[in-house]
Every structure is written in C-alpha cells, then in structure tokens.
Amino acid sequence: MNAPFRYRKLGYAALTVTDLERSLHFYRDLLGLDLVERSDDTAYLRCSRDHHNLVLQQGRVAGLKRIGWELENPAEADKAFEHFQRRGLEPQRVPQAEARALKQGPSFRVREPHCGLEFDFYGSTTVLARPYVSTVAKIARMGHVVIGTTDFAGTYRSLRQDFGFAESDFVEDRFSFMRCFPNPYHHTFAIGASDANHLHHINFMVSDIDDVGRAWHRMTKAGVKIAFGIGRHPPSGSVFLYFYDPDGMTVEYSFGMEEFPEVGAREPRMLEPVPESLDTWGAVPDAAFGKTGVIEGAVP
Ligand SMILES: [Fe+2]
C-alpha cells in the first residue's frame, strides 16, 4: 500500500526529563549533541543542520512527549492534514507562536489513538547556516524511536493504514520495524507489544563503528549504565550499544542500516520470536532495558 503522503524524515523527538541540567550534560557532553537554544525549562539540541533533533523539556515524569515528522514539502503537509481529517483522527493546528518556537513551518498534531503518542507534522523546518560539528561521536542523524504499546494490533493497523508507514521486518503479532516511506532507512519507528504504553528507546545513528566502541568506554567511565550490547541486530545489520540517560530512559547508538528503494523494495521478513532475533553476538539485555519513560497523554 502506498503512503497517502510523503515523509522526508524523522525530524525530532521531544522528551520530558526531571532534571534539565543533568540531562543536558548527558545529551550534549556524553552523547555529542549540539545545544542550539535553551530557556529555563526547554532545551533544543541537534545532530544535523536542523534547528533541533531532540527537545528536552523539564517536567515531573520522564517520558516521550512527542515525535516530529518532517514531510517532503508544505504541499505534502496539507495533503496529510486532509488525509487525517478524512480518517477521523482530528488533526489539530499547532498555534503559530509554538510552531515559530519550534522553527517549523505550519504544523499540525495527531494523536495515535491506540498507543496515545502525539505526532507533529510539518512540511518545512529551519536549517541553520552553521553546520553540526561532531564532538565525542560522529552522529549521522537521529535514527529512530521505538515504543511499547498495550494494543499492538490497533497501533499497528493505524500506523500502517492512517500514518502510512511501510513495514520492513516483523515478529508476528509482537514487533514491527517501520519506515516512513519513501525515506529509505530500514526503520525510523518501531512498535512492540507490551503491558504498558511506554517509550522503549531513542536512537542516534553514528557514522563510524569506532563511535560505538568508544561510547562503551566513555559511558562506563562516566558512570552511565549500559543497557544492552555491544551487539549486532540481525534484522537491520546494525552494530548497537544501548545505555541509560539520567532518568533511566534507554538511548541507543548504532552503526549501519539497510536502505530500501522507493520502488521495488523487498517484502518484509518475519523474524523468529527468539533472543537471536535481537542480537547475533550473544549480548543479554539488562532487566530495565527499554522500560522507562511514559508516553505522555497515553493510558500508562
Ligand atoms: Fe534501535
């Protein structure tokens, strides 16, 4: 099924953190993002020329606030707005002042009704003249966000049919790797069946395998607990390392990912529901891996 509108990429993730200063140190100094702008309660960080790829907002409960999707152009954003209206998902225009603060063009929001996650859609964003300069790791881009949902079937159906995501690989009735068509990357979003609606992890792709190895030592030295890895994901072929942010939310670095052509892409493959589907090297995830972080606005 072709998507009803064309995505460009995963634009940003907005996280609520309980101690902005502490999280800022982690995401800027240990993870390697560039702080673009901040106020008392909000910080905008980036790993590209975009104004931001991660928004940190001070709050009481740590979690995933929202995900922003950049569409190919403003006409696609108009098309998407009408599409969501037709599907009865009641898209809401983002007030101009807020869209301006986010340095986005006209934007709207839609809540996926099963997992409760809010998505931001926009057809243009502000690009900074000053390039992103890597510090501790050569971050290539914000890679993906993964969530757990209590209604896997409902969320899956809605993401495929209403949000237009293409599927790359899956574990039957339990997990789906999705790409925001026609963006080529194996997955920019993924969902897993869970007993709560929650953030599983956010990912940053690095452009050198040494970045993954170095991160293990850097994080360990800084007292950051490793959640899973180093390992290699069989579905995407990525070499990965997961660790915890100061609130215990899981963050991933990974290197390498399959890319799909817009036309003639291979069919999604079914993965076996065994640990080897997660890692080919035998790493065992920590007990709290992918567990911390509410989805704001969702039933927990
Ligand atoms: Fe991941």
* Contact call for residues 105 and 94 (beta carbons, < 8 A): no
Supply the pLDDT for residue 273: 86
Low-confidence stretches of the chain (pLDDT beneath 70)? 1-2, 299-300
Name 180's Cβ contacts closer than 8 Å, sequence gap at least 6: 7, 9, 10, 69, 164, 165, 166, 188, 189
Q: What is the CATH number of domain 139-295?
A: 3.10.180.10
Instruction: State in Å: Cα 261 to ligand 1 middle.
Output: 21
Supply the pLDDT for residue 277: 79
Supply the pLDDT for residue 300: 63
Three-point CA angle 132, 23, 216, nearest 5°: 75
Three-point CA angle 151, 157, 159, nearest 5°: 95
Structural domain boundaries in the chain = 7-122, 139-295
pLDDT tens by residue, 176-206: 999 999 999 999 999 999 999 999 999 999 9
Instruction: State in Å: Cα 202 to ligand 1 middle.
Output: 7
Instruction: State in Å: Cα 230 to ligand 1 middle.
Output: 12
Instruction: State in Å: Cα 241 to ligand 1 middle.
Output: 9
Instruction: State in Å: Cα 136 to ligand 1 middle.
Output: 20
The owner of tokens 């301006």 is 100
Supply the pLDDT for residue 2: 60
The owner of tokens 């509108």 is 5
DSSP structure string for 127-151: B-SSPP--SSS-EEEEEEEEEEES-
- Which residue, among 196, 195, 192, 198, has the nearest Cα to 152 in the 3D structure? 192
* Contact call for residues 46 and 34 (beta carbons, < 8 A): yes
Architecture of the structural domain at 7-122: Roll (3.10)
- Which residue, among 289, 293, 292, 175, has the nearest Cα to 240 in the 3D structure? 289
Name 33's Cβ contacts closer than 8 Å, sequence gap at least 6: 27, 45, 46, 47, 53, 54, 139
CA 71 – CA 51 distance, rounded (Å) = 16
Instruction: State in Å: Cα 253 to ligand 1 middle.
Output: 8
Please indicate whether the domains covering 7-122 and 139-295 agree at the CATH topology level: yes
Beta-carbon count within 10 A of 60 CB: 7
* Contact call for residues 179 and 166 (beta carbons, < 8 A): yes
